[in-house]
Amino acid sequence: MEDFKNIKSTVKYIAFDADDTLWDNEPYFRQGEEEFAKIMANYASHHEINQILFKTEIDNIPLYGYGVKAFVLSMIEAASKIGGILITREHIDAILDIGKRQIEAEVTLLPNITQVLAALQQHFRLIVATKGDLLDQHRKLSKSGLGIYFHHIEIMTEKHVIDYQKMVKRLDIQASELMMIGNSVKSDVLPILKLGGYAVHIPYHTTWQHEMIDHSVIHPRFMECRQASDLLAILL
């Protein structure tokens, strides 16, 4: 925690993850999974359907990346694995409807996030650093009305150390000047700490299995907050 004492004079750029940090996201995927399980209910158990879908999604990340479109393609592939030749056009149409409703859904901001961004913008350069589908993330940012607070938008295919290195290089800054804030320890915290920056974890009430880690983080440049408004006491 010692490093956080001088944070106000060290950090100049604050990057925010988008999904489940600025606005709700994971619940829509969980709802989609439940709807998919109902569509496939005649062909396998709920547990088997979930397992097949999850494995299909993970296997497809190198091909499709993240986001709703990748989710829909994985559901169609999983449906084929589960139902085989019994899968009909009606099944495919129902799966496509899940994705369309998810894309068209309203963007629900997390509590106090607008006030937090407005306050921090007066003192720092703010960045969106998220992964996912380029079009979908820009669409959500537009719907959210939060774009006015950000100096730079970075939509990555992955959030590994090299991806953050590229972002830091594009911004022409030092990693030590950057703080990353997000709900995923795996994607938003560990790579930034390894790079030499600061990280704040704000847990979300539900997390995708792929983003979970099995250990706690203890690091002088790491802090966990309960909610976004806690940032103001730390940074201002």
Q: What is the set of domains in the chain, with CATH numbers? A: 2-24+107-235 (3.40.50.1000), 27-104 (1.10.150.240)
pLDDT the model gives residue 50? 97
Contact status, residue 83 vs residue 37, Cβ threshold 8 Å: no
pLDDT tens-digit series, residues 161-212: 999 999 999 999 999 999 999 999 999 999 999 999 999 999 998 877 777 7
The arrangement of strands across the sheet holding 178-182 comes to 152-156, 125-131, 13-16, 178-182, 198-201, 222-224
The confidence score (pLDDT) of residue 99 equals: 97
At 48-105, the pLDDT tens digits run 999 999 999 999 999 999 999 999 999 999 999 999 999 999 999 999 999 999 999 9
Average pLDDT, the chain: 94
For the stretch 122-162, pLDDT in tens is 999 999 999 999 999 999 999 999 999 999 999 999 999 99
Q: What is the pLDDT of residue 23?
A: 98
Token pair 């030092």 in the structure block, residue: 174
Distance CA 201, CA 124 (A): 19
